[in-house]
Amino acid sequence: MSAAASGPPSAGPSSVGAIAGWRAANARRGAICLAAAGLAAISFAADLATGPALLPIGAVLRALAGLQADPMIDAIVRNLRLPIGLMALVVGAALGVSGAVMQTILNNPLASSYTLGISAGAGFGAALAIMVGGLLPLPDAWAIPLAAFLFAGLACALVAGVGQMRGATPELLILAGIACLFLFQALLSLLQFLASPEALQQIVFWLFGSLLRASLGKVGVVALVLALTLPVLMADAWRLTALKLGDERARALGVRVDRLRLRAFVIVSLLTGAAVAFVGTIGFVGLVAPHVARMLVGEDQRHMLPASAVFGALLLSCASVASKLIMPGTVFPIGIVTALIGVPFFGWLIRGAVRAA
Amino acid sequence: MRLEANNVSVRYGQRVAVREVSLAAAPGQIVALVGANGSGKSSLLRALAGLHRHGGVIAWEGGHPPPGAIGYMPQDGNTRVALTAFEVVLLGRMGTLTLRVDAADLAAAEAAMAELGVAHLAGRRIGELSGGQRQMVLIAQVLAANPRALLLDEPTSALDIAHQLHVLALLRTVTRARGLTTLAVLHDLNAAARFADRVALMSEGRLVGIGEPADILRPLTIGPAFHVEVAVDAGSDGHPVVLPLRARGP
């Protein structure tokens, strides 16, 4: 035992550039985010160009800049397709960020608004509003999203309530989320069973998820929620990063874990509620976007949260384009497209992760 | 930063994990907490770190410790994360970290890694490191905050002999150089005998004794605490050498 201080068996030469290396890595991550944002912008332009009438990109850009001479193209781009294209971006970003935060605070890569029953809560709320539509003092275009938002919040509150129990663990929160999923799915099935054929058709279409209900006003609401919540999450970025090392280690670093988890959960419920309220149930974006972000920029949440937003926006925008190309002349429900694209993509991701392990 | 703990008790519901433990620790010294599994070592450490409610009095330099003065390294944690070793060490500066990281925080993280000889691992992902390297990075994380006391829960568990010796030798060097008050939970009694200035032996939540290794690590104290029969010899360098003979059963 006398040779103890001679050096670690695997010690290598001392590096002189830890800070420089870290700064270079950060610059690389920033470049990745910018590149993804560029791709999202291209996808957005393609989203505006595709549809029953395929428009040249130049015409789309001229219409956006207010230089379009043809009033028909101007109307198609600015009135019909612009709200849908923007909605894809903001909803994708909101779902990406909320998925990233959920996966972080629950320390589980399968956590998302979909798997934790928040989307199911929103679905039940929307179905309820469709069923009692005439009784509400609001037009359907706003009453249904409001009900969806409120029930998404209720689902979050149920899960967060379990999280406030003494000795609650992230695993218990996930179980509570899964219970919530089954509860709201059962209630939704009950409503579908009781609904009239017209209401049932409306409920099913809402559940498919669709960007066609978008308007600039609704885009503004989701964008506002995103603009208000993202800075709050970014202020907690280091604390969220510490949480990745486990609750006990985060506490040892001075993080008030229970308060952070509750705060993040409330923000996530606002983000998710706002996102799914206007477009319906959209799966996989909240699950896949954070995985892509994690693979490309790591888990420093200062980079991962914006990256999840950008990749979420990119994914949903691409899905929006694909939804119009699958069957020419028909806009496929976006929720179906994200699942159809998301499942094989997720399989490819898992395959890569298993190979790397 | 001198530690004085008097009649400290820790409960988990109805179960008492630590019963009226009193001990003191001085700067520049390592106190090894030893004892059988479930004897209350980790619970005592968490209470000393201010992470668990406790009965009795815990005083650091006669009162409450200033923020960041205690560096606590828990036993459990998740290291399968996509963070580099440098980022993990930087998290040790949690008290002062902002979105735009200050040069002082970066310098402190780099210095802590250099002090423990792991600067060359800065850009590697923590999950890719060997157990020994990972442990050194986690100790660097604790040191990056420039604490005045170190509370380490099994810092050498899951390490091979060479890495155990290296980690403990470095801990002793850092403790002396920085004048830290270091308490470490150790399972290896011989490592405790060699590297600790004092050994605190716990059994069933109580402190059986605290003192020089040669005074505490004796068959009559170790035997009942660990439910084993042991022989203790004097090593060539004067430290006691503990030889387990057979288990007596729990």
B246 located within any domain: no
Q: Are residues B57 and B107 in the same domain?
A: no
Who among B86, B91, B163 is closest to A242 (CB)? B91
Q: Are residues B84 and B200 in the same domain?
A: no
Domain ranges of chain A: 27-356
Given a cut of 80, is residue B122 above it in pLDDT? yes
B249 located within any domain: no
Chain A residues 2-31 within an 8 A CB cutoff of chain B = 2-19, 21-22, 25
Does the domain at residues A27-356 carry the CATH identifier 3.40.50.300?
Answer: no
Q: Are residues B49 and B21 in the same domain?
A: yes
Nearest alpha carbon to residue A149 among A124, A186, A132: A124
Distances (CA, A) of A163 to A105, A132, A159, A261, B27: 11, 33, 6, 9, 40
- Cβ <8 Å between B78 and A107: yes
Q: Which pLDDT does position A11 carry in this prediction? A: 44
- Cβ <8 Å between A5 and B119: no
B36 located within any domain: yes
B243 located within any domain: no
B3 located within any domain: yes
Compare all CA atoms of chain A with the CA of B70 and give the residue at the minimum distance: A252
From chain A, the residues in CB contact with B162 under 8 A are 8-9
The answer to whether B77 contacts chain A (CB < 8 Å) is: yes
Q: What is the CATH number of the domain that holds B4?
A: 3.40.50.300
The answer to whether A354 contacts chain B (CB < 8 Å) is: no
B6 — phi, psi (to 5°)? -125, 125
B217 located within any domain: yes
- What is this structure's pTM? 0.88
Q: Are residues B10 and B123 in the same domain?
A: no
CB neighbour list of residue A181: distance below 8 Å, 6 or more residues apart: A115, A116, A117, A120
Q: Which pLDDT does position B79 carry in this prediction? A: 83
Q: Percentage of residues in chain B with pLDDT exceeding 90?
A: 69
Residue A302's pLDDT band (boundaries 50, 70, 90)? very high
Given a cut of 90, is residue B244 above it in pLDDT? no
Residue range(s) defining the domain that contains residue B5: 1-69+149-161+181-221
- What total number of domains does chain B contain? 2
- Cβ <8 Å between A248 and B165: no
CB neighbour list of residue A216: distance below 8 Å, 6 or more residues apart: A82, A83, A86
Q: Are residues B204 and B186 in the same domain?
A: yes
Give tens-digit pLDDT for B90-105.
Answer: 999 999 999 999 999 9
pLDDT, mean over chain A = 87
Rounded distance, CA A199 to CA A303, Å? Answer: 44
Give tens-digit pLDDT for A29-51.
Answer: 999 999 999 999 999 999 999 98
Q: Are residues B22 and B123 in the same domain?
A: no
- Cβ <8 Å between A14 and B77: no
From chain A, the residues in CB contact with B133 under 8 A are 8, 10
B27 located within any domain: yes
B233 located within any domain: no
The answer to whether B120 contacts chain A (CB < 8 Å) is: yes
Given a cut of 80, is residue B207 above it in pLDDT? yes
